[in-house]
Amino acid sequence: MSKRPQIRFIINPTSGPKSRVDVAARIAILLDHEKYKHDIVYTTHAGHAPELAREAAEAGCEVVVAVGGDGTVNEVARGLLNTNTALGILPKGSGNGLARHLKIPLALDKAIQLLNKGQVASIDSGCINGHPFLRPLELVSMLTSVLCLLVTKSEACRRMWSW
């Protein structure tokens, strides 16, 4: 019998709209347990996910799944940079921009079923002034923020960022 890959799910319990869906229970029911072993950890504060992801990669997890929105995904991805650990996404945020871009189903059960297929794809990442990003939209957002900081008297930027 071959070794089953280890998946660590990092759940942000405060991410996205409030729902009564028990994510851990759905994972327990729908994850293919013949194919994967798994464990679940929860973030407790902003900036916690990179630490949890890094620990998972160092412990030999083959896959770390971010369960949350774009912020959670970004944090988990930062913790996995320069490792061989794959990033998975179960979208539970309010926007889920990266999941949408990657065509990951927004319905939790369907996203877990996709995860069971074990398909891995490479995506680009970049870094500006020490801030990693995963997709062009995040780059645009960062550049807009920088521009607004440079032009602090701009009324348009004040309205855009509610200053």
Q: What's CA 4's distance to the chain center, in Å?
A: 23
Three-state SS for 126?
strand
Q: Residue 95 has what pLDDT?
A: 87
Q: What is the DSSP string of 53-106?
A: HHHHHHTT-SEEEEEESHHHHHHHHHHHTTSSPEEEEEE-SSS-HHHHHTT--S
**pTM score, two decimals?**
0.79
pLDDT at 44: 97
Q: What is the pLDDT along the chain (163 residues), one digit of tens a residue?
A: 468 899 999 999 998 877 778 999 999 999 999 999 999 999 999 999 999 999 999 999 999 999 999 889 989 998 998 899 999 999 998 888 888 888 999 999 999 999 999 888 777 777 767 776 665 444 444 444 444 444 444 455 445 444 4
pLDDT at position 97 is 84
17-24 contact pairs (CB < 8 A, 24+)? 17/94, 21/108, 23/67, 23/90, 23/92, 23/108
